[in-house]
Structure 1
Amino acid sequence: MAPLPTTPFSSTSSPTASPSRSLLHSNSREWDVVVQRNVKSSILLLLVVSTVFVFSVVYTSRGFVAAATGEAISQRPLVTAEELADGPTVVAEDNVAAERQSPAAGISLPSANPSAAAVSPPSTAEQTETGDQSKYILYALTVTVSTYTSKFCDDACVHSLTIFSCVGEVGIQVEEKCDMSMGKWVREPKGPVYTNLTCPTLPDLKNCQKYGKDPGHLFWRWQPDGCDLPRFAPERFLDVVRGKRLAFIGDSLARNQMESLLCLLSQAETPVNAYADAFDKFRTWHFPLHDFTLTVTWTEFYAHAVPVVDADGKPTASFDIHLDRLNTNWTTRLPELDYAVISGGNWFFRVNYLWEGGRRVGCVNCRGEAGLTDFGIAYAVRRVVRAALEGIARCRDCKPGLVTFLRTYTPDHFEHGSWFNGGYCNRTRPLEEREVGLGHIGWELRRVQSEEVARVRETMTTGSRRFGVLDVTKAMMLRADGHPGGHYDKRWVRNASDCLHWCMPGPVDMWNEMLLRRLAEISPPPVVR
C-alpha cells in the first residue's frame, strides 16, 4: 500500500483517499456549516435582544432624557417648568449684594457652562453622566454590530444588522450638544446670504457698504466649539414659522435683529409692510405665502419708565424705572405671539433712578447722590429681566405654547470717545480673545440674564410655555469691526459715530442663524411628502 501523503489534500483531489475517509471529511464539512449557521443565528439573536434591552433602559431613564435634551443654561434646548419640577435648586433669591457695586473687577472669561456655579440642580451631574453612559452603550453596540457584520454576516445578515447600527447612530446624534455661545470667527469666502443690493428693506443707517465701509467684515462666520452653526436658510426658517407670529421686544438692537431677519427672509419671499406707528418704534411685516407675521416692539427697560424732567419741565436723558411695573407697550401685545425674543441692557448705562412701591429706592450710575444708594447696572438688569420673564410666565391671555428667547447683552466698541465726542470703531477684522477685556461688565450682564432664564424655568409654573437663551455676548464682543462707525447717511445724524448698532449684512445676521437653529429644534418643519 502506498504511504499516506504528508501534505494535505482534499478528499476529492487525493488519488489515494479511501471512501470512508471521504465520507468523514464530507460529514465534518457539513457539520462546520451547521455550527457556523447556529453561531451566527445565536449572535444575531443576542444582538437583537441586547438592542431591545438597551433601548428600553435608555428611553425609560429620566437621566438620559434630561441629558439628551439638556444643555448648559445658555444653550440647552427649551424645557417647560414641569420637566424640571423634580427637585430643582433655586438660584439664590437675590445675588444682588455683590451686584450693588461695580462688577467690572475680577470677572474672567466665561466657560462653556457659564451658569454652573450659579444654578446647579441636584440631578444635573447625574443626568449628564447617565446620558453619556447611554451614548457610549449605543456606540459600543454599533461598533459591535459593525464588527460582527464585517466578519461573519452574509448579505441577509448585513441588511438586518444595519437597522440596529442606524438606530444606535440616531441615539448618539440626539445626545450631541452644541454650545453656540463659545467659539471663534473664521473666514467665510462665500460672504453673506444677502447684500446691500438684494435686501429691499435695508435701512440707510445700517447700509455700511453704500457709504464706503471696507467689505472685509462680511467674510466671517461664527464657528462654535465642537459643532457647526449652519448657514441661514430663508426657506427653512419660513417653513418652521409657517402660520406663526414672532416679535422682537426691546430697544434699537432688537430692531437691528428684526431688520436683519427681514433681509434674510426677503431672499425667499418679499415681505409686506403691514403696520408702522407714527414714531416708527412699532413695525409689523407679513409674509403671505407662509402666513408668517414679524413684529418689533419698543421698550427700553421692560419695566415702566418715564423720563426725568429738568427744572424747565423738559425731559432729560435719565429715567425713573419702576421695578414693580411692566411697560404695557409690550405686555399688551404678548397674547397674539407664538415666539418672543426679548433683549436689552444698553439703556441702563445712563443715570437712572429706581422706584418701587411708589417711591424712589435707589439709582444707577448716580455717583453717590445724597440719600441714594447706587445699586449698580447688574442689579437693575436682574430686577427688570426677572419681572419681564415672570410676567410672561404668568400671562393669562397668552398662548399656552408661547416660546420666549432672551438674547444676551451685546456691547459697543467705541474707542477714544463716544457718539459725539470723537469715538470711533475703525477695526478691519475681528478681535482676538486676548484683546477682549476680562473685566468687561458685559460678562456680568450675560451671567445675570442667563441666571434669570434658569430661575423662571425652575421656579415658575409656566404650563407648556418655554424659555431659552440666545447667547451672543462673546461672539459680538469680538466683532469690533462690524459697526457702521461713520459709514451712514449723514442727513440723519451729523458728526457722530455709531459703534453700537451693526452693519447689514454683517455679524448681526449670526443672531438669526442661532434663532433658526433653536426654532428648528423645538418646531421642526413638516415633512413634505
Structure 2
Amino acid sequence: MTFDFLLHLLPQTFVVLLWIVVTPSLYHVHVNAIQKNQLNRCDFSNGKWVVDDPHYPLYDPSSDCPFIVQGFDCLRNGRIDQDYLKYRWKPFDCDVPRFDGVKFLEKYRGKKITFVGDSISDNMWQSLTCMLHIALPKSNYTLTRKTKHLSMFSFPEYEVSITWVKDGYLVDTVRDKKKGRILKLDSIGSKKSWNGDVLIFNTYHWWFHTGKIPTIFQLGNEIKESMDKMEAFKIGLTTWSNWIDSNIDPSKTSVIFQGIAAAHAGENYCMGKTEPEEGRKPSYPGVEIVKNVLSNMKNDVYWLDITLQTQLRIDGHPSIYTGLGTCYEDCSHWCLAGAPDTWNEILYAVLLGV
C-alpha cells in the first residue's frame, strides 16, 4: 500500500515548516549559528531522549484530546506498549522549557497562527491544538475542516485561531489528465491563503514518495519528464525562499522553518520498536539543501531543526497502529501524544523567548 493511499484516507494529514509571527524578528539563519535561540543561545537540535515518567506525556490522547485523527491516535488503534509516551528531549547544553499553554494564548491573543505544509505539518498542528486544549480544558473551542485542504482550530475566549493549510510542495502545482501532476518549480503565484500572524511552512516528503499519479516538473515553459528529485526540491525551496524575501516584511513578521523529520522506512522498519535509538546519526538527505537555502535568504529565519530528534525516535511512529490494520506500516508520521509535542515545546521557547 503506498504512502499516497494513506494520504487519501487521511486528508487532514502531512515535512519542512516555517513560521511567521508578529513579534520582534528572530535572528537570521547562518550556517555557523543554526537553530540557536536568539535569547538563550540554546542549541535545541543536538541532544538525547530521556525518560521523564512524572511529566510525560503532556496529555492523555485517550481523554484529553478527543480530536486527534485516526492515523495519529496510536493508543486507540491498539498500541499496547506505552513507553514511547514518556520520553523528553534533553539538549546537551540546556533544557527545553516546559510548555505553558495559557502564556502561549495570552501572547497570541487576537492572532492567527497558520501551518502550511504536508501531513507532518498536520502532525505538529494537531499536537499544538492538544497542548493548548489541555491547558484550558474548560475553554470553548471550535474545530472545523472547511475543505480537505483547510482545517481550523480556534479559542473564542482568546480570539486565537490555529490553521493548517494542506500544501505539500509549496510551489504551484497543476493536474494534467495525460501527464499527471506538474510541479512548477519556479512559480508561487496562487498562495493567497498564506496569511497569519504566524506562518508555519513545511515541505519535503512529497517530493520523494511515489504514488499512482506521476509527478513531472516544469521550469519556465520547459516540461521535464525526468529530473533528479533532490535537485527539484532545491529549486522549489529556493522559489519559496524568494517568495518569503519578496512578500514578507521582517519588521512586522518573523519566519521559522521546521526542518526535515526523518522517516524510518526501508532497512530500518519501525514495527516492534519500543524505545529510541542513541548516539550520532549520519547527515539526513536534504538537510544541507535546507541549510544552504535558508542561509542565503535576506529575511530573518529561525530553523526549527528536528532531524536528529526524529532520527532517534524509530519507536515514535504509528507503525501498524494507524487504524488500517496490519496491512499497512506507517514509519513516516508520528503518534500523538509523542515526538511532535517536543517540536511545539521548542516552538514555545523560541516564540516566547523563555
Identity %: 24
1:303 lines up with 2:171 in the alignment:
yes
CA contact (8 A) 1:71 1:179 kept: no
In 2, the alpha carbon distance for the partners of 1:285 and 1:484 equals: 23
User: 1:446 maps to what in 2?
Assistant: 287
In 2, the alpha carbon distance for the partners of 1:262 and 1:340 equals: 15
In 2, the alpha carbon distance for the partners of 1:403 and 1:236 equals: 19
1:347 lines up with 2:206 in the alignment:
yes
Distance change >3 Å, CA 72–CA 514, structure 1 → 2: farther
User: 1:256 maps to what in 2?
Assistant: 123
Deviation at 1:494, TM superposition (A): 7.1
CA contact (8 A) 2:140 2:155 kept: yes
1:360 lines up with 2:252 in the alignment:
no
> Helix, strand or coil: the match of 1:514?
helix
CA contact (8 A) 2:30 2:295 kept: no
Deviation at 1:447, TM superposition (A): 2.1
If asked which structure has higher relative contact order (CA below 8 Å, sep 6+), I would say: 2
Structure 1 residues 83-102: aligned runs within 5 Å: none
CA contact (8 A) 2:37 2:43 kept: no
Indicate the structure with greater helix content: 1
User: 1:455 maps to what in 2?
Assistant: 296
In 1, the alpha carbon distance for the partners of 2:308 and 2:185 equals: 28
User: 1:194 maps to what in 2?
Assistant: 59
Larger Rg: 1
In 2, the alpha carbon distance for the partners of 1:72 and 1:243 equals: 36
> Helix, strand or coil: the match of 1:254?
helix
Deviation at 1:71, TM superposition (A): 9.3
In 2, the alpha carbon distance for the partners of 1:357 and 1:271 equals: 48
Task: Give 5+ residue unaligned stretches, structure 1.
Answer: 1-65, 79-173, 364-373, 418-422, 525-529
TM-score scaled by structure 1? Answer: 0.56
User: 1:239 maps to what in 2?
Assistant: 106
User: 2:240 maps to what in 1?
Assistant: 388
1:433 lines up with 2:279 in the alignment:
yes
Q: What is the aligned counterpart of 1:516 among 341, 345, 348? A: 348
1:487 lines up with 2:318 in the alignment:
no
Deviation at 1:433, TM superposition (A): 2.4
String of CA shifts for 1:36-70, please: whole Å, max 9, x gaps.
Answer: xxxxxxxxxxxxxxxxxxxxxxxxxxxxxx99x99
In 1, the alpha carbon distance for the partners of 2:105 and 2:125 equals: 14
User: 2:21 maps to what in 1?
Assistant: none
Indicate the structure with greater strand content: 2
In 2, the alpha carbon distance for the partners of 1:480 and 1:308 equals: 37
Distance change >3 Å, CA 433–CA 356, structure 1 → 2: same
Letter in 2 for 1:278: T
Distance change >3 Å, CA 327–CA 181, structure 1 → 2: farther
CA RMSD of aligned residues (A): 2.7
Deviation at 1:430, TM superposition (A): 0.3
Distance change >3 Å, CA 271–CA 295, structure 1 → 2: farther
In 1, the alpha carbon distance for the partners of 2:235 and 2:31 equals: 25
Q: What is the aligned counterpart of 1:475 among 309, 312, 320? A: 309
In 2, the alpha carbon distance for the partners of 1:408 and 1:70 equals: 14
CA contact (8 A) 2:47 2:91 kept: yes
> Helix, strand or coil: the match of 2:64?
coil
User: 2:7 maps to what in 1?
Assistant: none
Deviation at 1:275, TM superposition (A): 3.8
User: 1:184 maps to what in 2?
Assistant: 48
CA contact (8 A) 1:218 1:506 kept: yes
CA contact (8 A) 1:251 1:299 kept: yes
In 1, the alpha carbon distance for the partners of 2:326 and 2:173 equals: 28
User: 2:257 maps to what in 1?
Assistant: 406
In 2, the alpha carbon distance for the partners of 1:481 and 1:520 equals: 30
TM-score scaled by structure 2? Answer: 0.82
In 1, the alpha carbon distance for the partners of 2:158 and 2:251 equals: 22
CA contact (8 A) 1:235 1:265 kept: yes
Deviation at 1:274, TM superposition (A): 5.4
CA contact (8 A) 1:301 1:345 kept: yes
Distance change >3 Å, CA 507–CA 401, structure 1 → 2: same
1:277 lines up with 2:146 in the alignment:
yes
In 2, the alpha carbon distance for the partners of 1:181 and 1:498 equals: 24
User: 2:11 maps to what in 1?
Assistant: none
Deviation at 1:299, TM superposition (A): 0.8
User: 1:286 maps to what in 2?
Assistant: 154
